[in-house]
């Protein structure tokens, strides 16, 4: 079990158990009673993680999605893909490090990967603007989308941003316009597109690389029109009410699956992706391969039309008895059983 460098406030009981367990496991010659106690604590720790993480509220989910140890795009590039050759620049202004793009190989498939990158250290985060891309980042992504379509390569987008960079310079260089251009172009690209929200999915910054044939979310990610702090600031003039805003936004994976905004929830390891990045990468890889197999044989015209209709349907809603019937027919049941985790 790897030691975590940071615990969230609601993880305090988990932290206490992990500390006790680590202390016992460090004993050089444990007695039989100590070994029994270690086994008991492991079972208790597993049950506690399951209980706490199955009952997360919206604000706690946001905290997990922002966890400083949570795997990012760069981590998945190493853990999921067999090869990755990075492509830089938008051929217009510069190379925005908040978005990484490049050719990659995933099993038998050659793909184009586009993903937000937040950075791990303070220096990296400053270089990446904490995952908030400038217009040149989205223009870089758009150029790589067209390159992938030219060679009929599937596109995989990993979304993890609190939102597009809101500075004056970004607005002067056409931030809103370039995000709109990306969304329009992605809706018409003649190649399969798979999008996965791996952490934060904030506003237009997420949508700029978020239009796809398949849109999935990790179990403890969030996807919203605005951050909870931004919503609270607009509605109640106080960021202190972010927890209340998070609940009102209905932005968790379970909510969005029920609404038909996403197609699938990818379950995370017990205690979140940050506790076992390798296992999370394995699950993400399985989802990507399954989706690629489903989309690979489809005619281009059918693919683009289905993508268009998929997003057109998102603004439609039903009232009364028709709502329940529409909801039941829109999706298969949500995943309720967690796969057995050997590492748990």
Residue 340 within any structural domain of the chain: no
Residues 197 and 122 in one domain: yes
Residues 273 and 296 in one domain: yes
177 occurs within a structural domain: yes
- pLDDT band for 314, please (50, 70, 90 cuts): confident
Same domain, 40 and 68: no
Residue 313 confidence class, pLDDT cut points 50, 70, 90: confident
Q: How many CB atoms lie within 10 A of CB 47?
A: 11
Domain match, 38 and 84 both: no
Q: Is residue 329 scored above 60 in pLDDT? A: no
| CATH code, domain with 290 | 3.90.226.10
pLDDT band at 5 (very low <50, low <70, confident <90, very high): low
Confidence of residue 318 (pLDDT cuts 50, 70, 90): low
- Give the domain range for residue 99: 62-316+325-330
pLDDT of residue 90: 86
Residue 69: pLDDT above 80? yes
170 and 215 housed in the same domain? yes
List, for residues 125-149, the tens digit of each pLDDT value.
Answer: 999 889 899 999 999 999 999 999 9
Clarify whether residues 36 and 123 are in a common domain: no
pLDDT for 323: 59
Position 301 in a domain: yes
Confidence at 54, pLDDT banded by 50, 70, 90: confident
Residue 254 lies in a domain: yes
Provide the pLDDT for residue 4. Answer: 46
Per the rule left: phi > 0, alpha: psi between -120 and 50, beta: everything else, 111 is beta
Distance CA 211, CA 271 (A): 29
Q: Say if residue 305 is in the same domain as residue 175.
A: yes
**Is residue 87 situated within a structural domain?**
yes
Q: How many structural domains compose the chain?
A: 2
332-343 pLDDT, tens per residue? 556 655 544 444
Cα–Cα distance, 289 to 272 (Å, whole number):
22
Question: 145 and 114 in contact (C-beta within 8 Å)?
Answer: yes
Q: For residue 342, tell me if it sits in a domain.
A: no
**Does 157 have pLDDT greater than 60?**
yes
pLDDT in tens, 197-254: 999 998 889 999 999 999 999 999 999 998 898 899 999 988 889 999 999 999 999 9
The string of DSSP letters for 211-275 reads --SEEEEETT-EEESS-HHHHHHHHHS-GGGHHHHHHHHT-BHHHHHHHTS-SEEEPPPTT-GGG
Instruction: State mean pLDDT over 290-317.
Output: 89
Stated pTM of the model: 0.85
Give the DSSP H or E segment for 43.
helix 32-54
* 17 located within any domain: yes
By the 10 Å C-beta count (0-12 exposed, 13-18 middle, 19+ buried), 335 is classed as: middle
Residues 16 and 115 in one domain: no
> Residue 77's pLDDT band (boundaries 50, 70, 90)?
very high
2 lies in some domain = no
Last residue of a domain, one of 55, 70, 86: 55
Average pLDDT estimate for 303-324:
79
Alpha carbon of 240 to those of 63, 67, 199, 248: distances in Å?
Answer: 15, 19, 22, 14
Instruction: Reply yes or no on whether the pLDDT at 92 is more than 60.
Output: yes
- 19 and 125 in a single domain? The answer is no
- Residues 24, 114: one domain? no
Is the domain of 37 the same as that of 85? no
Average pLDDT over residues 108-122: 94
pLDDT band at residue 322 under the 50/70/90 scheme: low
Question: What is the rounded CA–CA span in Å between residue 280 and residue 218?
Answer: 9
The predicted pLDDT at position 343 comes to 41
Residue where a domain terminates, one of 40, 55, 70? 55
115 and 198 fall within a common domain: yes
- So what's the pLDDT on residue 79? 95
Residue 60 structure tokens: 């706690």
Mean pLDDT computed over every residue of the chain: 88
């Amino acid at each position: 079990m790897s030691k975590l460098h940071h615990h969230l406030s609601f993880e305090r009981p988990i932290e206490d158990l992990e500390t006790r367990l680590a202390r016992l496991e460090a004993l050089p010659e444990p007695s039989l009673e100590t070994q029994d106690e270690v086994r008991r604590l492991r079972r208790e720790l597993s049950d506690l993680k399951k209980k706490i993480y199955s009952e997360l509220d919206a604000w706690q989910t946001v905290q997990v999605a922002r966890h400083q140890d949570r795997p990012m795009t760069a981590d998945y590039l190493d853990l999921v893909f067999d090869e990755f050759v990075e492509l830089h620049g938008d051929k217009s202004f510069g190379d925005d490090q908040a978005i990484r793009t490049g050719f990659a190989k995933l099993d038998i498939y050659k793909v184009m990967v586009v993903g937000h990158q937040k950075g791990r250290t303070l220096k990296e985060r400053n270089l990446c603007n904490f995952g908030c891309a400038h217009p040149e980042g989205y223009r870089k992504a758009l150029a790589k989308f067209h390159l992938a379509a030219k060679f009929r390569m599937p596109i995989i987008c990993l979304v993890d941003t609190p939102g597009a960079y809101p500075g004056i310079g970004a607005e002067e260089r056409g931030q809103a316009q370039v995000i709109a251009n990306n969304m329009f172009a992605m809706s018409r690209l003649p190649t399969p597109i798979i999008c996965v929200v791996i952490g934060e999915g904030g506003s237009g910054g997420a949508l700029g690389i978020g239009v796809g044939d398949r849109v999935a979310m990790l179990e403890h990610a969030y996807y919203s029109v605005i951050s909870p702090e931004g919503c609270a600031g607009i509605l109640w003039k106080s960021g202190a009410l972010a927890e209340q805003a998070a609940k009102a936004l209905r932005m968790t994976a379970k909510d969005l699956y029920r609404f038909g905004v996403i197609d699938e929830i990818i379950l995370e390891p017990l205690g979140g992706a940050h506790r076992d990045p390798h296992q999370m990468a394995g699950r993400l890889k399985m989802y990507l391969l399954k989706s690629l197999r489903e989309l690979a044989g489809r005619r281009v015209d059918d693919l683009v039309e289905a993508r268009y209709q998929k997003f057109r349907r998102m603004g439609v809603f039903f009232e009364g008895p028709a709502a329940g019937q529409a909801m039941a027919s829109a999706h298969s049941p949500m995943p309720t059983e967690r796969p057995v985790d050997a590492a748990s």
